[in-house]
Amino acid sequence: MSGHSKWATTKHKKAVVDAKRSSMFAKLIKNIEVAARTGGGDPAGNPTLYDAIQKAKKSSVPNDNIDRAVKRGSGAETGGADYQTIMYEGYGPHGVAVLVECLTDNRNRAASDVRVAVTRNGGTMADPGSVSYLFSRRGLVLVPAAGTTEDDVLAAVLDAGAEEVDGLGDAFEVVCEPSDLVAVRTALQDAGIEYDSAEVSFVPSTQVELDAEGASRVLRLVDALEDLDDVQNVYTNLEVPDEVLADA
């Protein structure tokens, strides 16, 4: 899981200064809108909305944009779209498993765009269930390593349901059951430990190791998918080589 996590951490840092910031903002805003529609517009009573807002703020999304998204989602302001979550499955180059999570108001557009991106980048689409069994849903909380230690993090989250704390260099990743995610991030807050993100992710049970060239081909597919407006997250079982991470 560490390779997956290291790449996710690298992507998270890059996103803040990425040239595609407007696209990233749009996806974060969409996430807030859906969370508000599903669980109401009060972050105090809607943990999913709270975490979506925190993630947007960490990525420097303007507060006005966040407030309008909450209002659209909760019905306090008109203009919200009816988004649906759809998961597409496929294989990238060298048989790497790929899960593509979309949040869209147009299923046909999303399906078409994902299929084109996959096939143009050396991948193939797969039937539902044929790839997803290789992944499990986990709650992941990313904690900056600056100002704290692994022991501090572990002591804060152990009784809240955390299963493990992984050191990723300049960050710690807390892994838990999705149902324990709110309790874990609340325990961190109570201990005065800041976190960068708290979300449910899909973590591969086993990973595929490729050389730098093979990994770069897979990551080009990931980038092409992440460029799509309807795509929220892309998960793979690729073990990203350190030399590729260094160039990221």
Check residue 10 and give its pLDDT: 53
From 74, 99, 118, give the residue that closes a domain: 74
CA 33 – CA 118 distance, rounded (Å): 28
> pLDDT tens for residues 34-43?
999 988 999 9
Q: 155 and 187 share a domain?
A: yes
| CATH number assigned to the domain comprising residue 45 | 1.10.10.200
CA 160 – CA 176 distance, rounded (Å): 9
Number of domains in the chain: 3
Q: Which domain holds residue 170?
A: 134-204
CA 29 – CA 57 distance, rounded (Å): 11
CA 128 – CA 82 distance, rounded (Å): 23
| CATH number assigned to the domain comprising residue 216 | 3.30.70.980
What's the token pair of residue 160? 């809240």
Q: 12 and 107 share a domain?
A: no
Check residue 75 and give its pLDDT: 85
Q: 27 and 142 share a domain?
A: no
pLDDT in tens, the chain (248 residues): 444 555 555 555 455 445 456 678 889 999 999 999 988 999 989 989 999 999 899 888 999 999 999 999 888 777 667 888 999 999 999 999 999 999 999 999 999 999 999 999 999 999 999 999 999 999 999 999 988 999 999 999 999 999 999 888 888 999 999 999 999 999 999 999 999 888 899 999 988 988 888 988 999 999 899 989 999 999 999 987 676 666 65
Q: 222 and 165 share a domain?
A: no
Residue 79 covered by a domain: no
Residue 130, amino acid: S
How many CA atoms lie less than 13 Å away from 66 in the CB half-sphere? 17
How many CA atoms lie less than 13 Å away from 114 in the CB half-sphere? 28
Check residue 185 and give its pLDDT: 93
Q: 214 and 198 share a domain?
A: no
With H, G, I as helix, E, B as strand and everything else as coil, classify residue 239. Answer: strand
Residue 216 covered by a domain: yes
What DSSP designation does 137 have? E
Residue 43 covered by a domain: yes
Between the CA atoms of 15, 16, 22 and 24, what dihedral angle is there, to the nearest 10 degrees?
40
CB atoms within 10 A of CB 137: 12
Query: Strands (DSSP E) along the chain, which ranges?
Result: 84-91, 97-104, 124-126, 135-144, 162-167, 171-176, 197-204, 208-209, 231-236, 238-239
Residue 151 covered by a domain: yes
Q: 126 and 221 share a domain?
A: yes
Residue 211 covered by a domain: yes
Check residue 239 and give its pLDDT: 85
> pLDDT tens for residues 143-177?
999 889 999 999 999 999 999 998 888 889 999 99
List the one residue out of 95, 94, 175 whose CA is nearest residue 136: 175
Residue 248 covered by a domain: no
Q: 158 and 117 share a domain?
A: no
pTM for the structure as a whole: 0.83
Q: 11 and 66 share a domain?
A: yes
Residue 188 covered by a domain: yes
Q: 21 and 143 share a domain?
A: no
CA 238 – CA 4 distance, rounded (Å): 7
Q: 40 and 149 share a domain?
A: no
What's the token pair of residue 224? 């092409």
CA 91 – CA 121 distance, rounded (Å): 11
Q: 198 and 210 share a domain?
A: no
CA 141 – CA 67 distance, rounded (Å): 24
Q: 36 and 70 share a domain?
A: yes
- State residue 233 phi and psi, 5-degree precision: -145, 150
What's the CA angle centered on 201, arms 199 and 203, to 5 degrees? 145
Residue 50 covered by a domain: yes
